[in-house]
Structure 1
Amino acid sequence: MSKPSFRIHRSRLETLVDGVFAIAMTILVLEVKVPELSDRHSAEELLHALMHHGYVIGAYFFSFAMLGLFWVWHHRLAEQVREIDLPVLVCALSFLALVCFFPFASALLGRYTINLTALLVYVPVIGLIVLLQTLFYWTAMRRGLVTVEPATARRTHQANLIGLAVFCFASTPTLMRLNVYASLIGLALGGLLIWRAKRPVAAA
């Protein structure tokens, strides 16, 4: 007698997702420190210190917005998934691992904004998160785990591909700082994803 395949209810994964995002979004603010002043009454010194920490504060708000966007996007995708099997769970846990890593990447960017290495950590983490969101839904669709009509599932997958293409185009300035060939590869990959999104996707 064969063993039943691995399955968990979607709600169990969503509880974990909410908890991970809540912690990651809270940890982001820990990098924003209250500045130490030699003269506690000096408004000018405090303003100068806050301006000095401006990149860290900016990285916090931008990263918080990105995590909020990823959270909303994930839940909109997960609403169309009936249950979670092992391959879908691997995609979801890999996605959550990157979400947990995101505060470190944000802190690195905030402290070393103009450092290329910091950008080459931060930007790929975002790209991998977007990629894993796309793989999460594509895997569920291919394994017959979505609850919507095949045409709706295909449109959702195509929208995910376009989102991934937008990231490729948006990362071009960072890739250009690395070298021109990397930027051309990014543009070509974005174009390929747009082309793929326009093509019909096989029904699950």
Structure 2
Amino acid sequence: MEKETGRIEGFSDAVFAIAITLLVLDLHVPEKNSIRNGSDFLIFLKNQWPVFLAFILSFFSIFIMWVNHHKIFKQIYSRNSGITFANGLILFLVSAVSYPTSLLAQYFDGEASSVVVAIYTGIFVLINLSYNLLWYLASKNKELLRPGITDQAIRNIHNNYLYGLPIYLIALLFSFWIPAISLILILGLWIFWAVSSGKIEMHLKTVKKDLV
């Protein structure tokens, strides 16, 4: 079966690359006349910690989204309008991550922290929903998937994305109460998807060998 998603994957890679590059625009060097010595520079860096935090969080979030996007399209061999538009929704939301990142960088250490963390977490809730939608539309017609993929593998991938949704919703609730907890939960989801997606890929390779 010939893979028909090459153009979708190529275009998606470009959007992910641009989205992750835009994050660096929030990193600024100090004005030359504002720094007189090394102590001034260290104070400037210390005051910039929300900017670095927002950059690191968003960079690795987008990176892990790209890794999972790549892995999900290793299982999708054919496309239809639903898959194309669901993928477009993912790219739209990924390209918008830079805006809440800028809000987080500027306002996280102020009185508006709960609101900006809620906006930041909210966009990841939407991204998670869009990934679930993409896999649902692809997996409901097994003819669109990689030949030989098992029903168990389909369920594993579905559960992998579905499990993240309640965690993001909990993080969204915590953003109005303890914003820092929300960011810790997002960090925890990096680890979850990094580990779980690796386990799923190993399982798929094992099943594929057994079928040969």
C-alpha distance in 2 between matches for 1:50 and 1:176: 28
The alignment status of 1:169 with 2:164, answered yes or no, reads: no
Alignment of 1:1-150 (within 5 A): 9-38=4-33, 40-113=35-108, 114=110, 115=112, 116-144=114-142, 145-147=144-146, 148-150=149-151
1:26-76 Cα deviation digits (max 9, x unpaired) = 110011110114354411111111111111111001110110111111111
- The one-letter amino acid of 2:141's match is R
Tell me the secondary structure at the aligned position of residue 48 of structure 1. Answer: helix
C-alpha distance in 2 between matches for 1:117 and 1:59: 15
Question: 2:16·2:94 contact (CA, 8 Å) conserved in 1?
Answer: yes
C-alpha distance in 2 between matches for 1:132 and 1:39: 45
C-alpha distance in 2 between matches for 1:117 and 1:175: 7
Counterpart residue number, 2:161: 160
After TM superposition, the score normalised by the length of structure 2 is 0.75
Deviation of 1:177 after TM superposition, in Å, equals 6.3
Structure 1's unaligned 5+ residue stretches are 1-7, 179-204
C-alpha distance in 2 between matches for 1:40 and 1:109: 25
Counterpart residue number, 2:207: none
C-alpha distance in 1 between matches for 2:73 and 2:167: 21
- Equivalent pairs counted in the alignment come to 171
Question: 1:37·1:45 contact (CA, 8 Å) conserved in 2?
Answer: no
Task: Quote the RMSD (CA, aligned, Å).
Answer: 1.9
Deviation of 1:158 after TM superposition, in Å, equals 1.6
Deviation of 1:19 after TM superposition, in Å, equals 0.3
C-alpha distance in 1 between matches for 2:13 and 2:129: 20
- The one-letter amino acid of 1:99's match is V
- Closer, same or farther: CA 166–120 of 1 in aligned 2, 3 Å: closer
- The one-letter amino acid of 2:145's match is V
Deviation of 1:82 after TM superposition, in Å, equals 1.0
Structure 2's unaligned 5+ residue stretches are 180-212
- The one-letter amino acid of 1:152's match is A
Tell me the secondary structure at the aligned position of residue 84 of structure 1. Answer: coil
After TM superposition, the score normalised by the length of structure 1 is 0.78
Tell me the secondary structure at the aligned position of residue 91 of structure 2. Answer: helix
1:145-174 Cα deviation digits (max 9, x unpaired) = 222222211121122111222322333311
Tell me the secondary structure at the aligned position of residue 13 of structure 1. Answer: helix
